[in-house]
Each structure stands twice: as C-alpha cells, then as structure tokens.
Structure 1
Amino acid sequence: MNALLGQAWRCPRSAVLVTRRFRSKPSKPPKKAVTRGSAVNKSFNDLPADEQLRRRLSDRERAQRRTTSSEPALRQRYDEFYDLTRHRLNTLLRDLGQWNPEHREYRAFGLHSQEAFIQEISLFKDALKKSFGLASTLSLTARSDNPLFWNLRAAFIKGDAQGLTKELRYALQTFLMRKNFSKSTTALHLQLADLRFPYEWFPATRQLQRTIHLHVGPTNSGKTYNALKALENAKSGIYAGPLRLLAHEIYTRFIAKGKRCALITGEEQRIPEDADMYFRSCTVEMTPLNWKVDVAVIDEIQMIADEHRGWAWTQAVLGCQAKELHLCGEERVVDLIQELCARLGDKCIVHRYVRLNPLLPMEKAVGDDFKNLQKGDAVIAFSRVNLHALKAGIESATGRKCAIVYGSLPPETRAAQAALFNDPNNDYDFLVASDAIGMGLNLEIKRVVFESAFKFDGSTQRPLTIPEVKQIAGRAGRYRTANDAARSGEEDETSVTSTRSKWGAPGFVTAMDGQDLEHITKHLLKDANPITAAGIMPPSHIIERFAFQFSSDIPLGFVLSRLREMARLSSSFNMCSFGDPLDVAEVIKEFKLSIYDRSVLLTAPVALREEAQKDILRAFAWSIANLSGGHLLEIPEIDLEVLDVDPSALNVVKRKDYLVRLEGLHKAITLYLWLSYRYRGVFISQNLAFHVKTLVEEKITNCLESADFDADKQQKRRELLRRQAQSHTKKEEKLLGEVVEDAPVAESGPGLWEAEGHEDPLYRDEKEVNAALPVRVRRISASPKGVVSQE
C-alpha cells in the first residue's frame, strides 16, 4: 500500500500502515529469544509503530464482534456515502476528459501515456475503496487512522456534493504527485507551511507596547459608543468595521463633527484633499497596517472566528500599529483576546457592559396581515427581491411608507432611507432590511420582526445561528444613532440622557410565522459557545515561497490545497476557508500571471456561482497578464448593453432576466473598481465605472420597486425554505450520522470548502442565479469551454 498512498496521506499519521494488512496477509514475525535482563513487558508507547497499529486493529476487530444495533445502520450510511463519492469521482474524471498528449493538467502531474493514466486512476479507485472499507467494516474514521475518508467526509459536510468533488480532485492530484513527495520534500513543505506564529508577520507592530481595550457586551449596551469616543478624542486613528455601509456611517459621523476623515473600502476610496493627517474609516480587510496612529477601533471582533473573513480581524488585531487598540464585540471572545494579548506582550483591559434596556421575545407571531405591524417595526429578510416585495406589501396594506436598507444600496441612498425611518415626523413608519443591520448599523427600531428564520448561505438553506439571531434581534430598542450625531454635530451627556429616557421601553422581537418564532425565541434564551481560535490565511509572501517548490505547470489550486493540508497551526488559530480562493485559482490557471498577481486575484470579490462572472474574471486576468485592454469599453464580457434596455416593454419573465443582467453588470463593475485601485495602469476607466455603477444601482432599485407582494406565495416560500434546510440536515445525518469528529486545532486539516458571500443574495433560487444571459464573445476562443485566449 506504500506504493498506493505514499506520503500523500501522512498527516498527521500515515494511512499506509492502516491499509497494508488488507492488501496482503502479513507473515508472522520470528519469535525472539528472551534474554536475561531484557524487558519482557514493554509499554504500548515503546512498541514499534507496526506493532502498535496491529494491536489497535485487533482491538477494533474484537469490538466489531460485539456489534450493536446502531452499527449496521452506520455501515449502511458509509456505503451510501461511498456510492456518492464514486459518482462524484466519475463526474470529475468526465469533466477532466480523457488523457491526450496535450492535456496540460495530466502532463503536469506526470501522466505521460494512456497506460499510465489508466493504471493511476485504477490505483486511486482502489485506495478509495480500501479507505471506505476501513470506515464501514472496522469503523476506522478518525483522522489519524483514515485521513482520506476523514478529509472527504469533512469536505462533504462543509460543502455538500460540490465540496466533495473539490476534495476528490485534490486527493487525486496528491495521489498522482506522491512520488515527488519524499521525506525531505515533505519536511521542507512542513517548514514553509509553519503558521504557528502569525504575530511574527508584523515585526514593526511587535516593537510597540500597545494597550488593548476590549469592550464586550450585548447589543445596545454602549460598547461601540465608548470606543468611538476614544477615537474622536485622539489626534489620529482608524475605524475598521465589517460592512461598507457601517464604514460609511462612521465616515459620515466624523465629517459631520468637522473632522477630516477618509473612507476606504475595497471599491471606493475618498481621501481628503490637502491634508496629511486624517482619520480613516474602512472595512476591516482594508485596515492600514503600516500607519502609526493613536487610537484604532475594530468593530464586531467576534467575527475573528468567521471561517471566511476571520483572517481580516486577526490581521488587524496582530498588525495594527496603534497605541490604543479598542475591540468591540461579544463576551464570548474575551478568553481568546486575553490569550493573544499575553502572547503579544500587550496590556489588555476588559470593559464589560450590560444592555441599556431589556430585549423581550413576543408570544405571538405577526402573521401575514401587515396591519398587525406597529410604527417603528423593522422586518428582516435575506434577499433583495424579497425585501422589495415586502416593502410593496406593507405599503399597500397599511397605507404608510416603508423605508428599505440593505448592503448593496449606494451609501447615500442608505443614509437617506435610514434618516426617513428615524424621523418621527413623517409617514415612514416601517423598515424592511437585510441582516446587515445586525452588524452594528444603528437605527431607531422598536421591534424586530423576522420574516424567516432561515437563510441561504451561498450553498444551502440553513437556520439562523444563535449569534445571528442575537445580533439582529438586539437592534430593537436602540438608544442613539449616528444619524442623530450627524444632525447635531456633537454629543453631550444631556442629549444622550434625553435619548435614553426616550428609549426606556424594552425592545421586542417576533416573527411573521409561528414556527420561526419558536426558533428565534429558543436561540434568544441560549448562550453561544465561546470562541477558542482566530481565523488566519497564509499571506502572499508565504504563498509565493511555497509555490516556488513546485513546477510552474502545477496549478495554483493544488499548491494552495497542499499548503492548507501541510499547515501547522497553534491552538489559538484556525485556517479560514480556502473555498473562494481555490475557485478563483481554477478559473485563472491558464494565464501567465505571477504568483503575486494570482494572490491578489484570490482575494477579489468574485461571485463564481454564475458562469458569466467566470468569463468576466478571465477577461480581467487576460488584461493583467497582457498589461492592456483594461478600458471599460474594451471588455466585451461586461454587459453594458443592458443599460439601453427599456424595462417597461418587458413581460414578467423577461423582466426577471433583465434584473439578472443588471445584477451581473453590477458585480462586474464592482470587481472592476476593486482592481482599478490595485492595477491603476491597466484598469483606467475608474470614473466611468463609478458612473455606470450609479446608473445600474438606480435601474435595479427602480426594477425592484415594481415588485408585488403575494401573501400565499410568501407563506409557501417560508415553508419551502424550512423543508430545504431540514432536508439538507437529514441527508447529512443519513449518510454520515449526527456526530462528526472535529479537526484537531493544532494539526493540519482538510480545509473548509464552502464559500459564503458577504452580500445578501439577489435571488434565493440557484437556478435563477445561473440563468444570467450569456456574455458576448470577442476574445473567447471557439473551444468548448470558452477559454479566453492569451494571444
């Protein structure tokens, strides 16, 4: 079996020894004479590895004879999972295509003949079969005993069938590369992938003696207010938040107070003119780490554990050069931050807050009759189409106006909508909003109404988690908003006191559906688990060093997967998801780009669930590789013609296609602007792109405002979401059981494959998302896969 698995599965303990006895019956070792003075009874740990494993397997076989009633059912689950894995492998091989001398990927992994291709694929299938045999017959599913099965199972749980296919691809590639991974090569990979000390990545910050103030408490407790007061009183500083709309809110607040402030997000930068010193309000990914300041505020610090974006909070905490660093978030992050501060040598001061007014779940749901809504209610939904449908239904049923707030609205539009809702002297009595308001956006909400307790996370429908419910529900009964500060231009204790007396009543939480209300109420009464590890991602310089150990023909996706697999982490850190970066690496693998350029594109805001967006990414990668063709009007993949369409002449079906095209154009322009700040000499149409972005957002808003509300359809949709989420959970339990072993934090892991978008989706139905109109073709070759030519 050594020839089958080699070094590929030696992580953290080789599976070669586990599977060897199932290939050939081992011969009995010759009996050794016991000499006087020798140790007759050795401890288990002193035995050779082969003997340890033999005894463990014997124990498992003896235990297998005492089968329980649950073991046959578990064995059946693993057999069904094996059938699914074989099907996904066959699909993967069909997509890769048959071997031919010009097949770039097969040549890169050493398959230089048809015979070698057939032999290696057969051996890999045999290894796969034996791995599942260990799981179903001997219940060897632990990571140390059966890492191939463990990796595949973890990938399926996190990413469903799509995640399983990606992990199979990496497993196959690793299997083909096994002869290249000698002991010395593996040792070098382990050394380069040593990520146990990420605080050493920021030597300039380590020279500072920082004081870290940790503000923790529930929503509406004043923690962010006190942190921002410290920032306002400083001479220089940074605010870093999770959302563009929150960064824009703080930017507006500082401008209203007469302070020079810059707004820095991924696709927008507003820098004060003729000013050397100014505050910076930014999204956390854009936190400047090479700028010394007096005070920095990092909001929503509990997101340091997020499997997709947690690395940005970790990077900001470890690298921000601030004399005082204020972190605002939930109580469950205290132990982790104190541990990090002890390692960094920074002083940590914890400030605890209590909620300024109670938060109470209601006994009854609102139901489908919007006349049951009250002034100051905020209805929370999780897609823009649904938000606009709810807005139309509320206004029609009540005869009152309804404001709308979600992440993709232009900042000025969001601010105007929030001001309309917060003003008690108009007829905007209600608000519909996405879960973006749970990330600290301040609105004067009396009662939060959940339209649904389920949301689409990018791959599946799932129920809301405890932190999500508490974050969103906690927006009920807010005391004071940044909008108030912008209107007054200053904050004093008198104004705050008067505002508190105004909001002395409790905040209330309910839902539109009774079953959803049960889920919401249950989560409000529970405490979320403590956060034990911060998320990290390998920085570009480590990716470059690691990639140099492989041939230039090896896809970057495999390099990243290998880095993920070999990474060593301390107990305080977890590896963030490689899902999006691996997808991006696969799309751009054919272009002649440097490792640095590829690393930049790995973090780009790309929505790869749509084929049209893949074509746009290829077009942008072509422009970077050739350092030309970056004018907005020179890129035919960007569907600018949709701006000339008259929506009034479209029927219902075509109007939906029109909305999909607008959304696709908006994503393309957002990516163009993001790249324009990183490749200014290539993507030169930044001003035109901003103009197009404004036009697209206006057209999307106008199109969505014409949405109609149908109570029966909304009820059926909620029931469908509930069934989909339950079906997904039952499918996982049927195949894999309820309990799944977690990865040892300090060891390398299989990676988490799913990719959750940070914007609320326009559509819930994946088929609608994939229905985007085909992009135009100019630089796309006539190949079946539509690859952008590099010539």
Structure 2
Amino acid sequence: MTKPQFWYPVARGMKRKLILHIGPTNSGKTHSAISVLSKAKSAVYCAPLRLLAGEVWEKLNTQYEVPCDLITGQQCIEIPGSTHVSCTIEMVNITKPVDVAIIDEYQLISDEKRGWAWTKALLGLPAKEIHLTGDTSRIELIKHLCSLTGDELEVREYQRLSPLAAESNSVKSLRSIKEGDAVIVFSRRQVYEVKREIEKVRKMKCCIVYGSLPPEARSEQAKLFNDQNSEFKILVGTDCIGLGLNLNIRRIVFASCQKFDGNVTRKLTPSEIRQIAGRAGRFKSIYPEGYVSSFDKNDLYLIKSAMEHQEPEDMSSHKAVVFPNFEQFAMFSDAMGGDTPFSEIIHAFVSRAKVAHYFSIACHLNMYDQACSIDHIPLDMEERYTFCLAPVDTRIHRILKNFIRFADDFCSKKSVPFRIYSRFNEAATTPDRLEQLEIDYKIAELYIWLANRFPDKFSDKPRADKYLEDVTQFINQTLSEDTTVKTKKKRTRSKRVD
C-alpha cells in the first residue's frame, strides 16, 4: 500500500501527459476538456455522478455525433461502432488504452469514501492524455502524484464566464425569497419544511433537489425549474446541487453554513461554499449575473470571505485516497487463515496497512458493516468481495435486509427473485411516504447492480428495471403535480416498513 503507483504497470509503461483544468464553477473548464475529448480517436469520460455520465453520453452522441457507450453501476448502453465511453468513475476500465481521458471533479480524490476511484483512475488510466477538471484545492497534491508517476503536467487556469457577487445584506426571511432563487439547506427534512413554508408565504411552487432523490427525479425537477413556462419558480435543495445539474439560478441563499457530514456538524469549507455559490448566474442563461446571500449575517461574512480569498492548500488534509483490491485482500486472507470471516479480514487489513505520506486509506466502515451482515452466508471470497462493494446504505434497515436476502438467495436458489411491495396505490402526500418510495428505488437499484455482475443468478433484472422506471415516474408525478406534500406538524414515531 506504500507505492500504489506501481499497481498499474500498463500506465507506468506509457508516456502520459496530464492537463489540469482549474477554475471556479461556470468557467468553461469542463466544456474545454470535452471539446478535446470529442475530437480524439478514442476516449473515456469519468464522471462523479450517473447524471453527469448520462449527460456527456447524450452530448457526445447527439451534439458532437461521436458514437459513445454509457457504463454505470446500474446501466450499460453500447452504441454500434463506438470509439468513446462515458462512465461513472468507479466503472472505468484501466486495462484498455485510449488517446484521451477526462477525470471530472478531480478534487474528490480526497473524499474518504469514494476518493479511491479517482486515485485509481489518475494513477492507472492507460491514456496518452488525461484531462483533470475541478477547483484549485488539490494542485500541489497532483504535482506530487505526477512526480511519483513521471507524468508530464500542464496547468490551465480559467476565469468565471459570468459575474457572481455576494449581496450586501442578509435575507430577512422566507418572505423575501424571489423567483429564480435557490434556498440551500442540509437535510431532507429541512427541504420539505422550507418548501412548505415558501409555498405558504410566497404563493409560488418550489422544485426540490436532495441526495437521496433518484437521479432521474432530480433531473426532472431541474427541468421544471429551468422551464420559464412552468409554475415552479423557486428551488429548495441540499448541497448536492453543486454537482451534476445545470440550473438557471438567479441567487443562492444559504439557510445555514453548517452541515452534518455523517460524523459531526461542521462549518462549510471555503471550497464547498464556492462550489455551491457558483451555481448562481449561469453563462448564457436567463440570469447571466449571479448573487449569493444567507439568512444569517454571520454566515454572509463567511460567504464573502470564501468568495474573496483563495485559501492556501492544506497538504496535511489533502491526500489521495486508496483502497485494497480483491487480489490484495485474497493474499492477506491466505496469510490470516482460510476460515477468518471477511469482516475481520477487512478490519485487520485496514488497521495494519501502511501508506505513503500523500495517501490515506478509504473509510471502510460501510464495507465492514456489509461484510458482517453476510459473514454467515457461504459465499466464496471473490463473490463476497463483490457483494461488499454493492451500493448499500447499511443505516436503512429495509435496504440491509434485502441485501442479506439477495446474498442468501444467491447461495440457496438457482436464481434470485426480485420481490418488492408496490406502494403506487398509496397517496404519497407526506415526505415519509415519499421516503419509502426512495428506499424502494434503492433496493431495485441494488438488485440491478448485482444483476450486472451476476447475470445468471439475478435473472429478474427486466422486472427490476421496470419497477425502477415505474417508481421514478410515480415520484416525478407526485413532485410535479401534487403540491400537498407536507411535513407533519406533530411528529410521531413511524413504524418501520419491512
């Protein structure tokens, strides 16, 4: 684990050039890189989100008329004669040489949960030319990684294409929210509360966007908000608007500059503030000038400081995240003894592994929880490793329960059936009921992810695909037509649906 650059002999045998496109949101850096990619004989685009992979795939096939495949964890669309691939970064093929590659939002290389995929792509892609796009926060880290790999590095800086300014005064209340505004909160519950209050005091409909909303629903909400002829004039969302959605926003209004990051409640970093704030004032949109504000005057001070001053890079916290592959786990398992539970292997490996100064090991807790839940099921080592990489939110009981059932059926039955209770006949008039549909979506998504890796066993994939389509359509219909989606005034303990 101390020299991950040597895990990729094909890439190390090539003379590669890395081009770092850095600049704020709405500066044209990604557009510039995609323009180069579209002219290449062969290329791959690595997206941080399925939405972005799909957007670039569509753009290459239609706008640029370049045959391009789409590969994500849940979807594979092959275009005859394709020379290009648009994929989520976890799905990139590091054994197939290409002329040009793009690694979008490269700064996520330091993300403790997913950063390993960016490190793998940066160190391992066998591409003659690799374009990295993102902000300025990891320049020194990339320079160091290039010194390890021997790759040439060129840095191109971009300036914002449209003006963006922090307002002089904070916003007094939700009554001051205007058409084209996006109010940023940091929880699903707050999204619905603020939506309900704005629709009550401003008499204008709100679109909503948050992380657990299915990607297709997020995209549909963005379309409604951008449509000048629709009734939806205001957006309420979480910080997920900072990636993957093109939105015509006049003003970003922060409800708070603090968020719970899964471990602690903390202040937003200057980089996070700029990423979110930069969504206002999109170039060539109906709002060519963007504004930023907040409800709290102290938060507004933080926002102004983040926008006016570029903080120096803190190398102590900016690491390239790595995680062991199957072969490394298998070798370690042999050393520990064949009967050791996989959960113990994960814990022992991570606790004993040593990494070089500019690297860190990815957070393994979710994978460990998944391993613990299926340690009793007789899977072989490679099957178990694959199952533990599946997209499972172990905090949600119903998702974890279905994950265990899928693994159990995988071992005990000829095929794994897709069974789920349809809630389409229930009125989804509260966030709690919509949340159950979102969980249904994740369970179907999990089945499809496993079906793409074990197609002979997960033979109900067409049924899961159809259910995913139906639940997405139902959520879209509920959000676009039903304005009665309200939070309950009196909160009661809800029963878990299994």
TM-score (norm: length of structure 2): 0.89
**Does 2:181 match 1:374?**
no
Matches of 1:771 and 1:579, distance apart in 2: 27
**Does 2:421 match 1:641?**
yes
What does the per-residue CA deviation read over 1:675-703, in whole Å, with 9 as the maximum and x for residues that have no partner?
11111011111111111122223444556
Distance change in 2, residues 1:394/1:658 (3 Å): closer
**Does 2:447 match 1:447?**
no
Residue 606 of structure 1 corresponds to which residue in structure 2? 392
Matches of 2:452 and 2:230, distance apart in 1: 41
Distance change in 2, residues 1:572/1:366 (3 Å): same
Are the counterparts in 2 of residues 660 and 772 from structure 1 also a CA contact under 8 Å? no
Residue 378 of structure 1 and its aligned partner are, at CA, apart by 1.7
The alignment-based identity, stated in percent, is 36
Distance change in 2, residues 1:479/1:530 (3 Å): farther
SS in structure 1 at match of 2:27: coil
Residue 375 of structure 2 corresponds to which residue in structure 1? 589
Matches of 1:692 and 1:528, distance apart in 2: 48
Are the counterparts in 2 of residues 534 and 574 from structure 1 also a CA contact under 8 Å? yes
Q: Which among 335, 344, 352 is matched to residue 149 of structure 2?
A: 344
Residue 48 of structure 2 corresponds to which residue in structure 1? 242
Residue 119 of structure 1 corresponds to which residue in structure 2? none
Residue 647 of structure 1 and its aligned partner are, at CA, apart by 2.6
SS in structure 2 at match of 1:331: coil
Residue 453 of structure 2 corresponds to which residue in structure 1? 678
Residue 114 of structure 2 corresponds to which residue in structure 1? 309
What does the per-residue CA deviation read over 1:198-236, in whole Å, with 9 as the maximum and x for residues that have no partner?
122111222221111111122222211211111122222
Residue 462 of structure 2 corresponds to which residue in structure 1? 687
Matches of 1:336 and 1:362, distance apart in 2: 34
Matches of 1:657 and 1:709, distance apart in 2: 8
Q: Which among 328, 335, 347 is matched to residue 549 of structure 1?
A: 335
Within 5 Å, which residues of 2 pair with 1:398-477? 398-409=202-213, 412-424=216-228, 427-477=231-281
Distance change in 2, residues 1:626/1:525 (3 Å): farther
Distance change in 2, residues 1:703/1:384 (3 Å): farther
Within 5 Å, which residues of 2 pair with 1:199-348? 199-257=5-63, 258-272=65-79, 275-348=80-153
Are the counterparts in 1 of residues 69 and 82 from structure 2 also a CA contact under 8 Å? no
Matches of 2:432 and 2:223, distance apart in 1: 33
Q: 1:422 corresponds to which letter in structure 2? A: N
Residue 330 of structure 1 and its aligned partner are, at CA, apart by 1.8
Matches of 1:644 and 1:412, distance apart in 2: 17
Within 5 Å, which residues of 2 pair with 1:139-158? none
TM-score (norm: length of structure 1): 0.58
Distance change in 2, residues 1:659/1:412 (3 Å): closer
Distance change in 2, residues 1:251/1:380 (3 Å): farther
Residue 576 of structure 1 corresponds to which residue in structure 2? 362
**Does 2:347 match 1:537?**
no
Residue 305 of structure 1 and its aligned partner are, at CA, apart by 0.8
Matches of 2:228 and 2:427, distance apart in 1: 35
Matches of 1:385 and 1:261, distance apart in 2: 39
What does the per-residue CA deviation read over 1:638-686, in whole Å, with 9 as the maximum and x for residues that have no partner?
xx234265337xxx8xx66644433332221111111111110111111
Matches of 1:384 and 1:426, distance apart in 2: 24
Distance change in 2, residues 1:503/1:392 (3 Å): closer
Residue 409 of structure 1 and its aligned partner are, at CA, apart by 4.8
Unpaired runs of 5+ residues, structure 2, are none
Matches of 1:390 and 1:560, distance apart in 2: 42
Distance change in 2, residues 1:395/1:342 (3 Å): same
Matches of 2:199 and 2:432, distance apart in 1: 26
Task: Give the number of aligned pairs.
Answer: 491
Matches of 1:364 and 1:266, distance apart in 2: 45
Q: 2:366 corresponds to which letter in structure 1? A: D
Are the counterparts in 2 of residues 223 and 353 from structure 1 also a CA contact under 8 Å? yes
Matches of 1:610 and 1:433, distance apart in 2: 22
- Name the larger-Rg structure: 1
Matches of 1:383 and 1:700, distance apart in 2: 19
Q: 2:41 corresponds to which letter in structure 1? A: K
Residue 427 of structure 1 and its aligned partner are, at CA, apart by 4.9
Within 5 Å, which residues of 2 pair with 1:77-226? 195-226=1-32
Within 5 Å, which residues of 2 pair with 1:661-672? 661-672=436-447
Are the counterparts in 2 of residues 449 and 512 from structure 1 also a CA contact under 8 Å? yes
**Does 2:493 match 1:772?**
no
SS in structure 2 at match of 1:477: coil
Residue 485 of structure 2 corresponds to which residue in structure 1? 707
Matches of 1:387 and 1:310, distance apart in 2: 28
Q: 1:449 corresponds to which letter in structure 2? A: V
Residue 380 of structure 1 and its aligned partner are, at CA, apart by 2.0
Distance change in 2, residues 1:474/1:335 (3 Å): same
Q: Which among 288, 291, 298 is matched to residue 508 of structure 1?
A: 291
Matches of 1:276 and 1:700, distance apart in 2: 36
Distance change in 2, residues 1:278/1:408 (3 Å): farther
Residue 359 of structure 1 and its aligned partner are, at CA, apart by 3.0
Distance change in 2, residues 1:420/1:305 (3 Å): same
Residue 435 of structure 1 and its aligned partner are, at CA, apart by 1.7
Residue 325 of structure 1 and its aligned partner are, at CA, apart by 0.5
Task: Give the number of the structure whose residues are more often strand, by fraction.
Answer: 2
Residue 300 of structure 2 corresponds to which residue in structure 1? 517
Distance change in 2, residues 1:573/1:278 (3 Å): same
Distance change in 2, residues 1:360/1:340 (3 Å): same
Matches of 1:302 and 1:644, distance apart in 2: 40
Matches of 2:129 and 2:219, distance apart in 1: 30
Residue 276 of structure 1 and its aligned partner are, at CA, apart by 3.4
Matches of 1:510 and 1:425, distance apart in 2: 26
Are the counterparts in 2 of residues 240 and 281 from structure 1 also a CA contact under 8 Å? yes
Task: Give the number of the structure whose residues are more often helix, by fraction.
Answer: 1
**Does 2:154 match 1:363?**
no
Matches of 1:562 and 1:396, distance apart in 2: 54
SS in structure 2 at match of 1:251: helix
What does the per-residue CA deviation read over 1:138-177, in whole Å, with 9 as the maximum and x for residues that have no partner?
xxxxxxxxxxxxxxxxxxxxxxxxxxxxxxxxxxxxxxxx
SS in structure 2 at match of 1:607: coil
Matches of 2:53 and 2:194, distance apart in 1: 27
SS in structure 2 at match of 1:214: strand
Moved more, 510-519 or 539-548: 510-519
Distance change in 2, residues 1:345/1:564 (3 Å): same
Distance change in 2, residues 1:422/1:245 (3 Å): same
Distance change in 2, residues 1:503/1:698 (3 Å): closer
Q: 1:223 corresponds to which letter in structure 2? A: K
Residue 450 of structure 1 and its aligned partner are, at CA, apart by 1.6
Distance change in 2, residues 1:433/1:252 (3 Å): farther
Are the counterparts in 1 of residues 180 and 249 from structure 2 also a CA contact under 8 Å? yes
Residue 265 of structure 1 and its aligned partner are, at CA, apart by 1.6
Are the counterparts in 1 of residues 51 and 244 from structure 2 also a CA contact under 8 Å? no
Q: 2:93 corresponds to which letter in structure 1? A: P
